[in-house]
Amino acid sequence: MNDYPIYAYRTISDSKKIKVTTYGLLIVLAALFQASSPPFFTIKGTSPDFVIILLILSSTILRHRHALAWSFGAGLLLDLLSSGPIGISALALTFATYVSSVGGVGLFRTTYAWSIGTVAICTLVYYLITISFLTVHGVSIDWATTIIRIIPSTTIYNSVIAALLYGPIRRIAQTTNRNRYYSYGQPHE
């Protein structure tokens, strides 16, 4: 046997709890930050979508199998924090996360360039779905201005923010995905 006390080991369920708690807390903080920060981060009428960035980067880095459920929940939280119709952000975020999860295989999926490019593509998908649903709900949208001016600038802005956040999100992924068993710094077999 070993000489380590039983309480020194982090079990599989403890590791999963840490990952779920960390990820859930990050999503809630990103949603609150996104809902309250537009006056401070607006550049030429656009503000970054921190929730999209977090979901897509974590989907490409972590390959999280519950990413669609997380994106739906985050979308509902965004809908509750905004004045728009309930469900539009949830559906748009879920579909954008699905697009990010089906793209890329193996080695290229977790690279820096792939992750930033995926954020750009998924931002386009998110906004096209959102404005389509808003139009169906009777909200008047100037499609030409939105497609020519707002969506490209938001896509670039989200890509720049994603490039800055890639390192910290990758660090969180590495921290929460370590060996499942620890005994005072030595992995247990």
Residue-level pLDDT at 183: 36
52 sits in which H/E element: helix 50-62
Instruction: Give domain status of residue 128, yes or no.
Output: yes
Residues in the chain: 189
Mind giving me the DSSP string for 53-120?
A: HHHHHHHHHH--TTHHHHHHHHHHHHHHHSSS-TTHHHHHHHHHHHHHHHS--GGGGGSHHHHHHHHH
Q: Which domain holds residue 174?
A: 10-178
pLDDT number for residue 188: 41
Query: pTM of the entire structure?
Result: 0.79
Tens of pLDDT, residue by residue over 27-70, are 899 999 888 877 787 887 788 899 999 998 888 877 666 788 88
Place of tokens 């807390």: 25
Q: For residue 67, what pLDDT is reported?
A: 81
Within a domain: residue 82?
yes
**Residue 151 located in a structural domain:** yes
SS3 7: helix
Write out residues in the chain with pLDDT < 50, as ranges. 8, 179-189
How many domains are contained in the chain?
Answer: 1
Residue 184 in any domain: the answer is no
